[in-house]
Chain A
Amino acid sequence: MMTTINAFLAAKGIYLLTLILLSLGAAGIIVCNNYMKKLICMNVMQVAVIFFFLCFGQKTGGTIPVALSEVVKASEYINPLPHGLMLTAIVVSLGTTGVGLSLLFRITEKYGTIEEDDLIRRENKTKTGEKE
């Protein structure tokens, strides 16, 4: 029994961790009332996916993908593709976070709050205010 679990965890345990990270992020986006926290949770989610991808890059017996000699054998180096992809994903998440933060900046300036319920109340206030 324990060996099965051990084997499972050794082979797939990291997916469990990324899944927990992902769920935490998703739950945070849904549950948190504060927009800043939502943004952080969003980042947590993105990081989880980046971890998830990097899992595929691991290869037993492989080293970093920089060729050390003229003759290259595929089994000696880990998979470079996920790293390349995740570099892109990181940059994209950076951009998204930047835009998100500047949006938050504007929201704070206009409404003076980043709590969602407060914000909704104030939005409605401006709506009725405009009609008058």
Chain B
Amino acid sequence: MKENIPVLIILLPLCSALLCLLLTGLHKRLGRALVVLATAGSLVLSVIQLRTVITEGTIHYAVGGYEPPFGIELVIDSLNALIIVMISIIGFLTVLFAENFGDDRPVVKGSANAILALLITGLLGMTSTGDMFNLYVFLEITSLSAYCLIAMGGSKGVVSAYRYMLVGTIAATFYLLGIGILYSATGTLNMGDLSAILNKGGYDDVMLVSMSFLIAAFGIKMALFPFHGWQPSAYTHAEPGTRPLITGVMGKIPALAMFRYFYCIYGTDYIYVKYLLILLGVFSVFGMLYGSLMAMGQSDIRKILAYSSVAQIGYISLGFAIGTPVALAGSFLHMIGHAFMKGGLFFCTGAIRFKYGTVNIDDFGRIYKKMPLTCGLLVVAALSMIGIPPTAGFFSKWYLALGAAGRHEWIYIAVLVISSLLNAVYFFKVIEKVFIQQDKGLDDKWSKGELELPLTIILPVVVCFIAILGIGIFNVKLFDILMLTLEGVGL
């Protein structure tokens, strides 16, 4: 059974999603219990898988028993395994968290849980697959479930979901075009095989053409700066319970896929790599500045966080633009760290909304007295976003800056500094509201029991809190794991 772990991790949430409605019909809570169990199971399995990958090296899993260029292959290297653990954790927490939101009709509840599990499935699949077309299918599963989850957030959510759907379909179409061109030139769909063929040389033009489509496709999906138009309103109006997963993880996995294409498949030997790096660098620099500047002007905390995501995605692609193994590790560290920070911030937002029904930061006056844990996470996550040690955000920034210094890209260091300061401006605005502003005397919608919130909200909050500090302090462990894969990749 052990060799089947890679596929089981994807299958567990999938099967739970497929059976969720049926079980909800049998008993109201059964479907949800199944989804929770399945995501927990896939979390456990992903940890086991990570251990296996570290000790025994990359796992190649040929689905159906067909050898790679002919069948579909799942490839789990240490990088994938780590990201899968991250997705499983946030997914599990979000499934717990989502219980507290949405309406209670069985069909809606069951479908919503199913869609959430499918989103997790899609993300897990996108991460672990080693086949170009399979990636497209998972991309579409992710997108479709995201459209639906965003549409569930009221009428404005519907409009943002529709806009996202148009843009997202363009992205998927571009992705298909890109892999179509690659397929036409090489005749294979397997990533490893493709990489071997492309690196024989003579495919520079193919790579250029497909690269331009792939940048557009992944750029749109991960909300990289000039393609980010759909993102703020979609993140703002998404279904509150599932927002942590959508905001925290959904933008990262296309970035991982982008890394796969540009570094693992294309390599760095072809002649256009220079332009790729410059292009990515320009996008990310402007994204970091633009996102932070836009976030400064907002008063809805969801909008602040959404725009800050544009900036934070810029950090990740900045690592790709620098391209040394250290910088790449920095960008993946940021990917993992940011999932917990942004997820955590949205857990906080959701918790505050759950308790007080407000999302406007002007109403946040001194809620720290009533929700110390939530506000503690809010502060730690905000500091991590700014990059104050010893939180996760600082160390990813450190590796990015170190990589930039290694390639003498001083301007990137300057941009990192400026962007952190801009982040500081709006995050301290939030902190100031939470801790300093006068109490607005909001009425408490949930005041049973000893705890400040239900356990299903407290658990995610506490886990994110620990994770942000833990990733920060023990970042070298993660760095070593990442380096198992990244050594030799990049410039």
Interface residues of B (CB under 8 A from A): 133, 136-137, 140, 143-144, 147-148, 151, 155-156, 158-159, 161-162, 165-166, 169-170, 172-173, 176-177, 180, 183-184, 189
Contact = CB atoms under 8 A, between A and B. Distances in A.
Given A26-B170, A95-B144, A110 B158 contact: yes
Contact of B170 (A42, A89, A100): A42
Contacts of A42: 166, 169-170
Contact of A53 (B147, B170, B180): B180
Interface of A: 22, 26, 29, 35, 38-39, 42, 45-46, 49, 52-53, 56, 81, 85, 88-89, 92-93, 95-96, 99-100, 103-104, 106-107, 110-111, 119, 123, 126
Contacts of A89: 136, 176
B140 A96 contact: yes
Most A CB within 10 A of own CB, among B140, B165, B173: B173
Contact of A46 (B144, B159, B169): B169
Nearest to A92: B140
Nearest to A106: B158
A22 B170 CA distance: 10
24 contacts: A22-B173, A35-B162, A38-B166, A42-B170, A49-B173, A49-B176, A49-B180, A52-B177, A53-B183, A56-B184, A85-B133, A85-B189, A92-B136, A92-B172, A95-B140, A95-B144, A99-B165, A100-B162, A103-B147, A104-B162, A107-B155, A107-B162, A111-B155, A111-B159
Nearest to A89: B176
Given A53-B176, A53-B180, A56-B184, A99 B147 contact: yes
A92 B162 CA distance: 16
Contacts of B144: 95-96, 99
Given A56-B183, A81-B189, A92-B137, 11 more contacts: A26-B170, A52-B180, A53-B183, A96-B140, A99-B147, A103-B147, A103-B161, A103-B162, A106-B155, A107-B155, A119-B159
A51 B162 CA distance: 25
Contacts of B143: 96
Contacts of A111: 155, 159
A93 B144 CA distance: 10
Most A CB within 10 A of own CB, among B151, B158, B162: B162
Nearest to A79: B187
B457 to A, nearest CB: 26
Query: 5 tightest CB-CB pairs across the interface, nearest first?
Result: A110-B155, A103-B162, A106-B158, A92-B140, A49-B176
Contacts of A106: 151, 155, 158
Contacts of A85: 133, 189
Contact of A88 (B133, B147, B169, B173): B133
A49 B140 CA distance: 15
A123 B159 contact: yes
Contacts of B140: 92, 95-96
Given A45-B173, A119-B159, A123-B159, A29 B166 contact: yes
Given A42-B166, A88-B133, A103 B180 contact: no
A45 B147 contact: no
A45 B189 CA distance: 22
A45 B155 contact: no
B180 A99 contact: no
A49 B177 contact: yes
A67 to B, nearest CB: 17
Contacts of B176: 49, 53, 89
Given A53-B180, A56-B184, A96 B169 contact: yes
Contacts of B137: 88, 92
